[in-house]
C-alpha cells in the first residue's frame, strides 16, 4: 500500500503563487462506468475523451524522494529528486490505476539574487570593472514555490482520471544533487520520476519507508513553460519507457542557442549578462548551499564567455542530436514574439522531429514567453486533453487526423495548416543596393560603411527613419509593397564585409516599416469575467478551478523589428573554432536570423538594417568599430509563403 500524507490534499500556508499556467473549458460530469467491477473504480470515457468523475477535493497528496542514476554533488550517494503527487482517492482504496502528468522544474522553491556577468568590455575584450547588474527576483515561466499547488492540471485533469505531479529538479527544493543548466544530470534526475512510476526506480516516503507506485499505469506525460518546458524535451530524448507525450512550451532545444548565436555570446531577451552559471546559482535552492560550489564554478569556467565557441560543454546540452530516440508524441508550443527562449529553439526542434518522423503538433502564437492557454482557452484544453487521452490512455479521438499546425495571425485569428513552414513556401532573394533599396536586381557595387554605436544606443533607436542618413547603421528598404508578404521560416543574410576595431559582432535586423497596431510580447488579463474550466476546492483559497482570459498587449508604432540575427565574425567558418579577423580585409559573412511567421502588409516597406553591437543581446565592446558592406553583392534570403 502506498503511504500518503492524507486522504484529502491540503495546501500548506504560504506565499501566493505566480502561475505560469492557467486553463479552461467546462465539461459535463457523469457517473462511474456502468460495468465497473466491485470495489474497483474505472475511468469514464464518453465522446472519445475521459470525463470528470473523480473528486479534486478528495485527492490523495503523496510525497516521494526518488533515487536517480547520478551522483552530481559527489557525496558518494545517488542523487534523489523530490516528487509531489496528487491523485484520485480511488487510486488508494478502489484499485484505480492512472497515468501521470508531470511538471519538473528548478523553480518550485524560488530563486536567489545573483549578479549577472559584465557585458561592457574594454579594448582587450575584458570586463569593465563594476559592469554588473542584479538578476530579477523571478524568471519568466516559473510557477511558484513548493508550498502551493499551482496551475490548472489538478483542477482539470485529475477529475478526468489523471495523477498530476511536481518534481524538484536536481539541486533545487527538496532534491539533492546540483543544478547544471541543462546538464545530463538534470535530464536523468527528471527521468527518474518516470522510472519510479514504471517500477524501475526506488522511492521513499517522508519517513524513509520504501514506496512503490502501485496506482500508476506506468504511462506519463511531461509539460511546462520555459525551463519547465525544456526538461520534457531533454527527458524524451533519453527514450525512457513510459513517457508517452510531452508538451514543451517556450522550451529550449539547445542551450547553445539560448546563450550563444553563431559563435557569439548572446543573451536571452531582458537578461543581458546572464549565462548558465548565473541561472544555476539562481535556482540552487536545496538545503546544502555549499556542496555544489565546485560544480557551479566549473560551469562558469567551461561555458567560455570569451570566445562563445561551440564545445563539448554545449554538446552535452544539445537535445537535437538525440531526437531520434524520442518515443513520445511531441506537442511543441512557442510564442512568435518570444525573445527570451528565441524561436530558433522551437523551429529547429520541429525540423528534427520531422526528419525522424516523430508524431508531432505545433502551436505558434503572437505572444512572447507566455502561456498561450488563456488566449485561446477552450481550444487549447481540447487539444491538450485529446493529446494526453490518445497517448496515455490509447483513446482513438482523431487528434492525429487534425491539421498538425495552428498559427495565430497578426489579427489574432488562427490559421490551421498541415506543416510549418506552410506548404508552398519559396525563397525570395533581395539585394542590398547602394541607393539604400532592396530589390531583385543587384545594382552598382559600392562599399558602404558604418561606425558602431551599439555600446550606448539600442537597436530600436538605430532602425528609425530609414531614409535619413545615420553613420551608425546601414539601412535598406523596399518600396511600398503591392500586396501582403508572408515571411514563413528562417531569413538569412549574406554580405561581403570588413571590420576595423574591437567589436567582432555583426547584427542584422529585419524591420516592418509602416504605422500599425501590432502585438508585443506581453499579455493583458481580462478581469471582467472568469471562466471555470475545472473542479475547485472550496476550503483552499485560490483553488477555484477558474481563470481569467488574457488578450495580447499591443503597440501602435511606425515600425517593428520583426526578427534579428547575430554573428561573431571570428566564427565565420565554424562555430567551434575562431579564425583571426584581419582589420580592413573583406570576408564573406553568412548568418541566420530567428525564424518567424509574419505578414508585411501591403503599403508597408520591408527593411534590413545592419549594425555591429546589439545593445540588448551581444557583448558590448567600446564604440567606434568601422564595418563595411559591399552593396550590390549583399543579399537577404526570405522564405515566403503563399
DSSP 437-474: BEESS----EEEEEE--TTTS-HHHHTSSTTS--TT-E
Cα separation, 238 vs 195, whole angstroms: 12
Q: Which residue has the cell 524568471?
A: 139
Nearest to 197 by CA among 164, 169, 158, 226: 164
Stretch 234-257: mean pLDDT, rounded? Answer: 98
Query: Are residues 625 and 492 located together in one domain of the fold?
Result: yes
Clarify whether 226 is annotated catalytic. yes
Distances (CA, A) of 119 to 114, 410, 455, 506, 611: 15, 34, 10, 16, 17
| Grid cell for residue 551 | 488578450
Cα dihedral 299/302/307/312 (nearest 10): -120
What tens digit of pLDDT does each residue of 254-295 get? 999 999 999 999 999 999 999 999 999 999 999 999 999 999
Query: Are residues 145 and 274 located together in one domain of the fold?
Result: yes
Stretch 117-140: mean pLDDT, rounded? Answer: 68
- Give the strand order in the sheet containing 505-532: 474-477, 605-611, 505-532, 546-568
pLDDT of amino acid 540: 86
Return the minimum-mean-pLDDT range out of 544-548, 568-572, 618-622. 544-548
Q: Please report, for the domain that includes residue 575, its CATH number.
A: 2.60.120.260
pTM of the model: 0.91
Q: Please report, for the domain that includes residue 224, its CATH number.
A: 3.40.50
Q: How far is CA 502 from the centre of its chain?
A: 33
Stretch 105-117: mean pLDDT, rounded? Answer: 95
Domain boundary among 327, 346, 368: 327
Q: Is residue 23 within a helix (H) or strand (E), and if so which, with residue range?
A: none
406 within some domain: no
Looking at the chain, the number of H-run helices and the number of E-run strands are 11, 28
pLDDT at position 50 over 60? yes
Clarify whether 369 is annotated catalytic. yes
Q: Which residue has the cell 568601422?
A: 626
pLDDT of amino acid 10: 34
For helices 276-283 and 293-302, the axis angle rounded to 10 degrees is: 160
pLDDT at position 342 over 80? yes
What tens digit of pLDDT does each residue of 439-455 get? 999 989 999 999 999 99
Distances (CA, A) of 575 to 244, 263, 352, 414, 568: 35, 5, 20, 37, 9
The catalytically annotated residue of 4, 105, 216, 226 is: 226
Per DSSP, 159 falls in state: G
Nearest to 497 by CA among 590, 616, 618: 590
Round the average pLDDT of the chain to a whole number and report it. Answer: 91
pLDDT of amino acid 32: 32
Q: How many CA atoms lie within 13 A of 141 on its CB side?
A: 26
Distances (CA, A) of 495 to 430, 612, 629, 636: 12, 13, 7, 9
| Grid cell for residue 174 | 527538496
pLDDT of amino acid 231: 98
pLDDT of amino acid 125: 86
pLDDT at position 48 over 60? yes
What tens digit of pLDDT does each residue of 510-527 get? 999 999 999 999 999 999
Cα separation, 560 vs 339, whole angstroms: 14
Clarify whether 117 is annotated catalytic. no
Residue pair 170/72 in contact by the 8 Å Cβ criterion: yes
Cα separation, 110 vs 97, whole angstroms: 33
Per the rule left: phi > 0, alpha: psi between -120 and 50, beta: everything else, 153 is alpha
% residues pLDDT > 70 (the chain): 91
The catalytically annotated residue of 338, 389, 597, 633 is: 338
SS3 175: coil
Q: Residues near 34 by Cβ (< 8 Å), separated by ≥ 6?
A: none
Domain boundary among 293, 327, 361: 327
Residue pair 629/495 in contact by the 8 Å Cβ criterion: yes
Beta bridge partners of 639: 427
What residue numbers bound the domain in which 279 lies? 45-327
pLDDT at position 131 over 90? no
Cα separation, 468 vs 456, whole angstroms: 20
519 within some domain: yes
Look at the chain and count its residues: 642
Q: Helices (DSSP H) in 43-150: which residue ranges?
A: 90-93
Domain boundary among 282, 302, 327: 327
| Grid cell for residue 81 | 529528486
pLDDT of amino acid 129: 63
| Grid cell for residue 157 | 485533469
Residue pair 528/594 in contact by the 8 Å Cβ criterion: no
Nearest to 104 by CA among 174, 18, 190, 216: 190
SS3 259: helix
417 within some domain: no
Residue pair 450/472 in contact by the 8 Å Cβ criterion: yes
pLDDT of amino acid 31: 33
pLDDT of amino acid 149: 60
Q: How many domains does the chain fold into?
A: 2
Query: Are residues 275 and 135 located together in one domain of the fold?
Result: yes
The catalytically annotated residue of 117, 334, 369, 552 is: 369
pLDDT at position 140 over 70? no
pLDDT of amino acid 126: 86
268 within some domain: yes
Cα separation, 256 vs 127, whole angstroms: 21
300 within some domain: yes
Nearest to 510 by CA among 477, 485, 473: 477
pLDDT at position 298 over 80? yes
Per residue in 6-22, is it b (16+ CB within 10 Å) or e — as a string? Answer: eeebebeeeeebebbbb
What tens digit of pLDDT does each residue of 576-616 get? 999 999 999 999 999 999 999 999 999 999 999 999 999 99
Beta bridge partners of 98: 216
Amino acid at each position: 500500500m502506498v503511504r500518503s500524507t492524507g486522504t484529502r490534499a491540503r495546501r500548506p500556508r504560504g506565499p501566493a503563487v505566480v502561475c505560469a499556467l492557467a486553463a479552461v473549458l467546462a465539461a459535463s460530469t457523469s457517473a462511474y462506468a456502468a460495468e465497473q467491477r466491485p470495489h474497483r473504480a474505472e475511468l469514464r470515457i464518453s465522446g472519445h475523451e475521459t470525463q470528470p468523475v473523480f473528486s479534486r477535493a478528495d485527492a490523495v497528496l503523496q510525497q516521494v524522494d526518488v533515487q536517480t542514476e547520478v551522483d552530481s554533488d559527489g557525496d558518494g550517494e545517488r542523487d534523489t529528486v523530490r516528487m509531489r503527487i496528487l491523485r484520485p482517492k480511488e487510486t488508494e482504496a478502489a484499485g484505480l490505476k492512472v497515468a501521470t502528468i508531470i511538471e519538473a522544474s528548478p523553480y518550485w522553491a524560488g530563486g536567489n539574487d545573483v549578479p549577472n556577468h559584465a557585458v561592457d568590455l574594454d579594448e582587450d575584450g575584458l570586463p569593465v570593472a563594476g559592469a554588473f547588474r542584479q538578476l530579477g527576483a523571478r524568471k519568466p515561466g516559473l510557477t511558484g514555490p513548493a508550498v502551493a499547488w499551482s496551475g490548472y492540471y489538478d483542477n482539470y485533469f485529475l477529475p478526468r482520471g489523471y495523477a498530476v505531479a511536481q518534481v524538484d529538479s536536481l539541486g533545487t527544493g527538496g532534491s539533492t544533487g546540483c543544478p547544471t543548466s541543462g546538464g545530463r544530470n538534470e535530464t536523468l534526475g527528471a527521468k527518474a520520476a518516470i522510472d519510479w512510476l514504471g517500477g524501475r526506480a526506488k522511492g521513499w516516503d517522508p519517513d524513509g519507508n520504501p514506496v512503490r507506485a502501485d496506482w500508476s499505469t506506468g504511462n506519463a506525460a511531461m509539460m511546462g513553460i520555459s525551463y519547465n518546458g525544456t526538461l520534457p524535451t531533454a527527458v524524451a530524448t533519453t527514450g525512457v519507457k513510459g513517457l508517452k507525450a510531452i508538451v514543451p512550451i517556450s522550451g529550449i532545444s539547445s542551450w547553445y542557442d539560448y546563450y550563444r548565436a553563431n559563435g557569439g555570446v548572446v543573451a536571452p531577451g531582458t537578461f543581458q549578462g546572464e549565462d548558465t552559471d548565473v541561472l544555476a546559482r539562481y535556482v540552487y535552492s536545496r538545503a546544502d548551499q555549499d556542496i555544489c560550489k565546485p560544480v557551479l564554478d566549473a560551469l562558469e569556467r567551461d561555458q567560455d564567455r570569451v570566445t562563445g565557441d561551440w564545445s563539448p560543454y554545449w554538446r552535452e546540452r544539445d537535445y537535437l542530436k538525440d531526437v531520434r530516440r524520442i518515443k513520445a508524441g511531441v506537442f511543441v508550443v512557442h510564442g512568435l514574439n518570444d525573445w527570451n527562449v528565441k524561436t530558433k529553439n522551437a523551429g529547429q526542434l520541429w525540423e528534427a522531429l520531422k526528419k525522424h518522423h516523430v508524431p508531432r503538433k505545433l502551436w505558434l502564437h503572437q505572444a512572447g514567453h507566455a502561456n498561450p492557454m488563456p488566449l485561446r482557452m477552450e481550444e487549447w484544453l481540447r487539444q491538450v486533453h485529446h493529446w494526453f487521452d490518445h497517448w496515455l490512455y490509447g483513446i482513438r479521438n482523431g487528434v492525429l487526423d487534425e491539421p498538425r499546425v495552428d498559427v495565430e495571425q497578426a489579427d489574432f485569428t488562427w490559421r490551421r495548416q498541415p506543416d510549418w513552414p506552410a506548404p508552398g513556401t519559396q525563397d525570395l532573394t533581395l539585394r542590398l543596393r547602394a541607393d539604400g533599396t532592396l530589390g531583385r536586381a543587384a545594382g552598382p557595387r559600392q562599399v558602404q560603411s558604418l561606425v558602431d554605436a551599439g555600446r550606448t544606443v539600442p537597436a530600436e533607436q538605430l532602425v528609425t527613419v530609414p531614409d535619413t542618413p545615420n553613420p551608425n547603421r546601414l539601412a535598406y528598404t523596399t518600396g511600398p509593397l503591392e500586396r501582403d508578404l508572408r515571411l514563413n521560416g528562417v531569413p538569412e543574410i549574406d554580405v561581403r564585409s570588413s571590420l576595423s576595431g574591437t567589436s567582432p559582432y555583426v547584427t542584422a535586423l529585419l524591420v516592418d516599416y509602416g504605422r500599425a497596431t501590432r502585438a508585443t510580447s506581453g499579455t493583458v488579463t481580462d478581469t471582467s469575467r472568469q471562466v471555470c474550466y475545472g473542479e475547485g476546492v472550496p476550503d483552499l483559497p485560490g483553488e477555484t478551478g477558474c481563470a481569467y482570459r488574457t488578450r495580447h498587449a499591443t503597440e501602435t508604432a511606425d515600425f517593428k523589428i520583426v526578427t534579428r540575427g547575430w554573428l561573431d565574425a571570428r566564427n565565420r567558418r565554424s562555430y567551434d573554432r575562431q579564425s583571426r579577423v584581419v582589420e580592413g580585409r573583406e570576408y564573406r559573412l553568412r548568418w541566420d536570423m530567428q525564424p518567424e511567421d509574419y505578414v508585411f502588409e501591403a503599403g508597408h516597406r520591408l527593411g534590413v538594417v545592419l549594425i555591429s553591437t546589439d545593445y540588448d543581446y551581444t557583448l558590448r565592446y567600446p564604440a567606434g568599430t568601422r564595418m563595411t558592406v559591399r552593396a550590390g553583392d549583399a543579399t537577404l534570403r526570405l522564405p515566403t509563403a503563399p
